[in-house]
Amino acid sequence: MSKTMTRQATRAISELSEIAQWLPLLTTRSTIVYGVRSARVMPARCARHDGLPFGLDHRIDQTDDGWPGIRTHVGALEILASYARAIASERGTYTTTSPIADLQRDIPWAAEHYEDVDAVLDEIHRIHYHIARLTGHAPTLVGTCECGGRIYRYPTRRGLTDQSWCNTCDRLYLTQGEAVRTRLQHVTSLDVYVTRQDLKTIWPTLTDNQIDLWVHRGIVEPRDGRPKVYPLAVVNTRMNTTRDHDCLIK
């Protein structure tokens, strides 16, 4: 088994454990938000015609749609059970009343012997994210990092973290505002114009005197209007090449 496959299998087993923890919350959320009295599964081919009335398509599992059709724990378990049966049949083992336990038991074997294991592991990952999002356990996108990665806040038992992290370079952002400001500081499009106040928000060390000096020297050319707006990319270039922003003219 390759190291990549080992990691994917280990991740899937861990994700299945989290799915098991979140399934009660999934049905509870559906009950509170949509008034579900009992979980139901209805195949999409006969359940929906451009959307069911009264919002029923948001509270009834439509498992013919695959993981996007999951609304309650019943739908999630039905889809997972289909994968568990397929792998168990191929392996020559048995299934129980818990498809999650069956998959966790058989995934290490499947990683080496089951031909469609990649598709199964990918579907488990998608189901995990879908349920995490519906139950409030998915990371929340804050913005884009200067490295090009995405910045997320992560859920905890007490709610979302105050800090956020880039999923590519792991840079820590203390506040959501800081993450947005950093992204704006690296805008390079010459079509983006912002107000003077916005410039000073994006660059807290930037002063009116410095902006006026750049305008006077023709380095920054504002666009007339009320209020005037300034090319963000040009200001970013000047600020990013300044060794010590605190030494700017006051």
- What confidence score (pLDDT) does residue 112 get? 92
Task: Please tell me whether residues 212 and 129 are part of one structural domain.
Answer: no
pLDDT of the residue at 159: 64
Domain shared by 102 and 51, yes or no: yes
Distance CA 135, CA 30 (A): 10
Tokens 């990918």: give the residue: 122
Residue type, position 226, single letter: R
Domain endpoint, select from 134, 169, 196: 134
Half-sphere exposure of residue 183, counting CA atoms within 13 Å on the CB side?
16
Please indicate, yes or no, whether residues 149 and 97 belong to a single structural domain of this protein: no
Domain ranges, residue 42 = 3-134
So what's the pLDDT on residue 42?
44
Q: Are residues 8 and 112 in the same domain?
A: yes
Two structure tokens written together for 166: 């880039």
Q: Could you tell me if 241 and 209 lie in one domain?
A: yes
- Structural domains of the chain, count: 3
| 92 membership: H or E segment, kind and range | none
Q: What is the pLDDT of residue 29?
A: 59
- Do 172 and 200 have their domain in common? no
Tokens of 153: 């806040």
Per-residue tokens: 183: 């992204």
Q: Are residues 154 and 243 in the same domain?
A: no
In this predicted structure, what is the pLDDT of residue 172?
Answer: 74
Are 70 and 172 contained in the same domain? Answer: no
Helix (H, G, I), strand (E, B) or coil at 151: strand
Single out the residue in 103, 134, 165 at which a domain terminates.
Answer: 134
Residues 115 and 153 in one domain: no
Q: Do 14 and 122 share a domain, yes or no? A: yes
pLDDT in tens, the chain (250 residues): 666 778 889 989 999 998 998 888 876 655 444 444 444 444 444 444 344 443 434 456 566 667 777 878 888 898 999 999 999 999 999 999 999 999 999 999 999 999 999 999 999 998 988 888 888 777 777 777 777 788 887 776 666 666 777 878 777 776 667 777 877 888 888 888 888 888 988 888 899 999 999 999 999 999 887 788 899 999 999 988 874 444 444 3
